[in-house]
Amino acid sequence: MPVIKYPRLRDPLFYEWDRKAQKCGLRHTIYAVNGDQYTGEWLDNLKHGKGTQIWKSTGAIYSGDWKFGKRDGYGSYSVLDPATKEYRRVYTGWWENDRRSGRGTFFYPNGELYEGEWSNGERSGWGKMHYKDGSTYEGQWLMDQPNGQGLLQLPNGNRYSGGWKDGKKHGPGKFFYPDKGQLLEGIWVADIPKCGVLVEFGRENAPAPPELPLPEIKLQDPAGVLAEAQAMFDDSHN
């Protein structure tokens, strides 16, 4: 005789228990096996939406947007200072696929600060770096280094405006020395000026001008130089 199977009136209990165990929507704090904890929204058992994660091993905390289990959107990341036992802000800004991406501000442990664009966790795009010695760089970045056009301002007021490559002055640029009342305009290669013209500007208002002004170089009239050269050439062939 054929065996007749009738549909179940309900699924086995373990299916129901599994559905209840799946995390979706807003949940209370969930503790991982390693001690990490997360409070916030879920989707299909993944962190998704607004939430706060605390890592037990480092004490670091992230509060912000999540997407399918990764930091994605706007959020703030802080670490626990072992000396003061207080949280120190590290980064506030945009994230993508668990990495800094978009505009954001990074706070370095030594007091330095970067405000600008990020890509794949690195400074990339347009941004401004505040260094601990008081100098600043504002301009283009690529792969965590100044690349492209940018302005470096030193604490004494001197400044360089021009090309950069791999974090060094490279290409056409101008170096202003307001303390000396001078301007160097030329070509740089790996932080070294290879050729250029040094001129004076505002010497009378400079706080520390050179003892002697730059000597004046009087150029002859190009037409006269060519005529003289032509005459010498003609004499040598007569």
What does the pLDDT look like over 151-166, one tens digit per residue?
Answer: 999 999 999 999 999 9
**Cβ-Cβ contacts under 8 Å for 60 (sequence gap 6 or more):** 54, 77, 78, 79, 80
225 pLDDT more than 90: no
Task: Please count the other Cβ atoms lying within 10 Å of the Cβ belonging to residue 15.
Answer: 10
What does the pLDDT look like over 7-48, one tens digit per residue?
Answer: 655 665 444 544 554 566 666 788 889 999 999 999 988 999
202 pLDDT more than 80: no
What does the pLDDT look like over 70-126, one tens digit per residue?
Answer: 999 999 999 998 888 899 999 999 999 999 999 999 999 999 999 999 999 999 999
Angle at 178 (CA atoms; ends 186, 199), nearest 5 degrees: 40
**Cβ-Cβ contacts under 8 Å for 201 (sequence gap 6 or more):** 181, 182, 183
What does the pLDDT look like over 133-153, one tens digit per residue?
Answer: 999 999 999 999 999 999 999
Task: Give the SS3 label for residue 52.
Answer: strand
**Cβ-Cβ contacts under 8 Å for 198 (sequence gap 6 or more):** 182, 183, 184, 214
184 pLDDT more than 50: yes
Task: Give the SS3 label for residue 198.
Answer: strand
Rounded to whole angstroms, the Cα distance separating 51 from 97 reads: 15
Domains and CATH numbers, the chain: 27-99 (2.20.110)
Least confident piece of the model among 111-125, 160-174, 177-191 = 177-191
